[in-house]
Amino acid sequence: IIAAGTGEFEAGISKDGQTREHALLAYTLGVKQLIVAINKMDTTKWSEARFQEIIKETSNFIKKVGYNPKTVAFVPISGFNGDNMIDSSPNCPWYKGWEKEIKSGKVTGKTLLEAIDSIEPPKRPSDKPLRLPLQDVYKIGGIGTVPVGRVETGVIKPGMVVTFAPANVTTEVKSVEMHHEQLTEGLPGDNVGFNVKNVSVKEIRRGNVAGDS
């Protein structure tokens, strides 16, 4: 979100500005798809020149961060009045809509909601080998050893044989749970706990990675 107000935009993209910081943070944290909403357009009296100036400046600096401006939707909005948020606004007749490139071609739209809807969902790498870094290992009375972590790639299922690296411990998965519910399988993105056979809490630890063996 960028403020279009005189001085506000300039402060945001200055050397220590927040806009610059947010773009860098997003890119560093692996956010691949970006929307730039240019807010407070009502304070510029919906100036097309100001909108174009902000697009030009912002494109230059997001390019330096690592984004391709052609894949970014730039939307002029007024959050205070709701312009171009859900419905297209009559206040900027010059605005013909945003356009961005995706793998399958070009996408266009007018509003911020349409820009959000055009974000492509990330693919879950469930076809890759299992990799599950352990966050923690619990010893639960009556159940046994329960490692906990998030599935990064692949699938974890009861009955599977897994090996923990670098501990080099191989065992069978007895059951898989998420939020206290039994799962038939855990997929990438799932935070799971799984019970393993004949492994003591001392043999595996946080930071080990479970893989299918």
Instruction: Report the CATH superfamily, name and number, of domain 131-212.
Output: Translation factors (2.40.30.10)
Quick check: helix, strand or coil at residue 56?
helix
d(CA 119, CA 113): 10
> What pLDDT, on a 0 to 100 scale, did the predictor assign at position 121?
86
CATH of domain 2-117: 3.40.50.300
Reading the block at residue 23, the tokens are 């773009």
> What pLDDT, on a 0 to 100 scale, did the predictor assign at position 213?
78
Helix-helix angle 48-65:18-28, to 10 degrees: 40
> What pLDDT, on a 0 to 100 scale, did the predictor assign at position 116?
97
> What pLDDT, on a 0 to 100 scale, did the predictor assign at position 79?
94
> What pLDDT, on a 0 to 100 scale, did the predictor assign at position 40?
96
> What pLDDT, on a 0 to 100 scale, did the predictor assign at position 2?
93
> What pLDDT, on a 0 to 100 scale, did the predictor assign at position 15?
83
Domain locations in the chain as residue ranges:
2-117, 131-212
Give the CA radius of gyration of the chain. Answer: 24
DSSP letters spanning 114-181: HHHHTPPPPPP-TTSPPEEEEEEEEEETTTEEEEEEE--BS-B-TT-EEEEETTTEEEEEEEEEETTE
User: How does pLDDT run across 86-109, given as a tens digit for each residue?
Assistant: 999 999 999 999 999 998 889 999
d(CA 186, CA 154): 9
> What pLDDT, on a 0 to 100 scale, did the predictor assign at position 119?
93
Indicate the pTM of the whole model. 0.69
Which stretches of the chain drop beneath a pLDDT of 70?
none
Residues paired with 3 in a beta bridge: 39
